[in-house]
């Protein structure tokens, strides 16, 4: 009998253009949002000899939020585009729906540029940035890079949906040259399961112009860059450039040829230990924050603090307690999302709330004061 599967919660949110994005919450510890690669499926990852150790390992050191890219996995497959701005909007929607205020952000492979752009746009929310196997520009400046990308795209068009995996195996060999036959077979099957041929082609074509090189010097937060020395998907030089051009970033070289680290190779525990240590300041901050949901069910400061809220602030908080995310609240009250965020920050300050649970705690205070249950789950009160 196999090991018990980790328990995860899968939910859905809508991006700015209406695309439904699937995301999952799993683990415990400081919150860590993962902007991941396109080769994923939130359900099947837990059964995978390639991804399961990633899911379990990361969930063992953090409360992880993972999501399937638009057009892939459990997210909508029928999408208007895969442009960079849309992918940033997807990440923003997932974060809003997750109910997180401050968190670490991990960008894996092509999720790295999205994470970089988000961190720059929302510096008040990202505590620290981790980049693994990533890059600044998807297609290199040389003619050879462009020709290689064209060849890969053509192979996808011809072989993605074919029953035999001859064409897909080219990608698998580059992803994990050290993989076992079982692991290669599983990844080969995941490619067909994760998306359609048309989506795979369009996704690659529309990310060719991504280049975040100009953004790197503007980042101002603790950053950890991890890159396998023999990575055949994204050359080690890309990891070196990220670490060199992001102020204060630290580079950890992983002794591996695999873009996707395998469970039984020495580089995997090194990766996990480095990420665990890097998240320790967030863990320590959480330990030092006063609890506002303890005291035998009484919520933090006196309910009299609610009387200091303006009518509009209380109206916003009532919608939070009803389960609406910031976009829904903005639409309900005919406000901008930024205005909703400002109201909530004022609410938290007046109620003397801080930390990643402040949204849940504020809503719980309101419900208790209004005669409802004094406790509520994050799934009920979080940003859906």
**What is the band of 145 on the pLDDT scale with cuts at 50, 70, 90?**
low
* Spatial distance between the Cα atoms of 154 and 173, rounded to a whole number of angstroms: 17
Class of domain 9-146+175-183+207-285: alpha beta
Task: Please spell the DSSP secondary structure of 120-167, one letter per residue.
Answer: HH-TTTEEEEEEES--SBSS-SSHHHHHHHHHHHHHHHHHTT-SS-TT
Q: Please list, in sequence order, all residues whose beta carbon lies within 8 angstroms of the beta carbon of residue 357, skipping any fewer than 6 positions away.
A: 292, 293, 378
Element (H or E) spanning 8, and its range? none
Is the pLDDT at 131 greater than 60? The verdict is yes
pLDDT tens, 243-285?
999 999 999 999 999 999 999 999 999 999 999 999 999 998 8
pLDDT digit string, tens, across residues 78-91:
999 999 999 999 99
Delimiting residues of CATH 1.10.10.10 domain(s) in the chain: 291-381
Q: How confident is the model at residue 7 (pLDDT cuts 50, 70, 90)?
A: confident
Does an H or E element contain 172, and which?
helix 168-175
pLDDT tens by residue, 294-348: 333 333 444 567 878 888 888 999 998 888 889 989 999 998 888 898 889 888 8
Sheet containing strand 31-35, edge to edge, reads: 9-14, 20-27, 63-67, 31-35, 103-108, 126-132, 223-228, 250-254
Instruction: Specify whether domain 291-381 bears CATH 1.10.10.10.
Output: yes
**Residue ranges, CATH 3.40.50.1820, the chain:** 9-146+175-183+207-285
């Amino acid at each position: 009998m196999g090991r018990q599967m980790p328990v995860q919660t899968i939910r859905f949110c809508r991006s700015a253009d209406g695309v439904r994005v699937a995301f999952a919450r799993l683990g415990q510890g400081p919150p860590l949002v993962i902007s991941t690669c396109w080769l994923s499926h939130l359900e099947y990852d837990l059964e995978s000899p390639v991804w399961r150790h990633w899911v379990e390992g990361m969930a063992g050191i953090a409360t992880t939020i993972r999501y399937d890219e638009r057009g892939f996995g459990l997210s909508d497959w029928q999408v208007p585009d895969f442009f960079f701005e849309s992918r940033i909007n997807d990440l923003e929607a997932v974060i809003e729906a997750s109910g997180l205020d401050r968190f670490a952000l991990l960008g894996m492979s092509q999720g790295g540029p999205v994470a970089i752009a988000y961190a720059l746009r929302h510096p008040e929310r990202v505590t620290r940035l981790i980049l693994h196997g990533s890059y600044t520009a998807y297609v290199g400046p040389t003619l050879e890079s462009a020709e290689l990308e064209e060849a890969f795209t053509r192979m996808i068009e011809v072989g993605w949906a074919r029953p035999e995996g001859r064409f897909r195996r080219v990608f698998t060999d580059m992803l994990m040259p050290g993989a076992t036959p079982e692991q290669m077979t599983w990844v080969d099957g995941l490619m067909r399961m994760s998306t359609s041929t048309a989506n795979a082609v369009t996704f690659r074509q529309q990310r060719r112009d991504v280049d975040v090189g100009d953004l790197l010097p503007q980042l101002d937060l603790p950053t950890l860059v991890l890159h396998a020395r023999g990575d055949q998907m994204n050359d080690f030089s890309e990891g070196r450039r990220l670490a060199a051009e992001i102020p204060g970033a630290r580079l950890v070289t992983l002794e591996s040829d695999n873009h996707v680290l395998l469970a039984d190779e020495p580089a995997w525990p090194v990766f996990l230990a480095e990420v665990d240590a890097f998240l320790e300041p967030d863990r320590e901050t959480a330990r030092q924050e006063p609890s506002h949901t303890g005291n035998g069910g009484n919520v933090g400061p006196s309910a009299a603090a609610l009387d200091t809220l303006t009518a509009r602030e209380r109206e916003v908080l009532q919608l939070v307690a009803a389960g609406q995310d910031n976009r829904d609240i903005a639409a309900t009250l005919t406000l901008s999302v930024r205005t909703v965020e400002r109201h909530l920050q004022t609410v938290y300050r007046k109620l003397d709330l801080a930390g990643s649970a402040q949204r849940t705690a504020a809503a719980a205070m309101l419900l208790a004061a209004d005669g409802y249950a004094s406790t509520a789950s994050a799934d009920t009160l979080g940003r859906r």
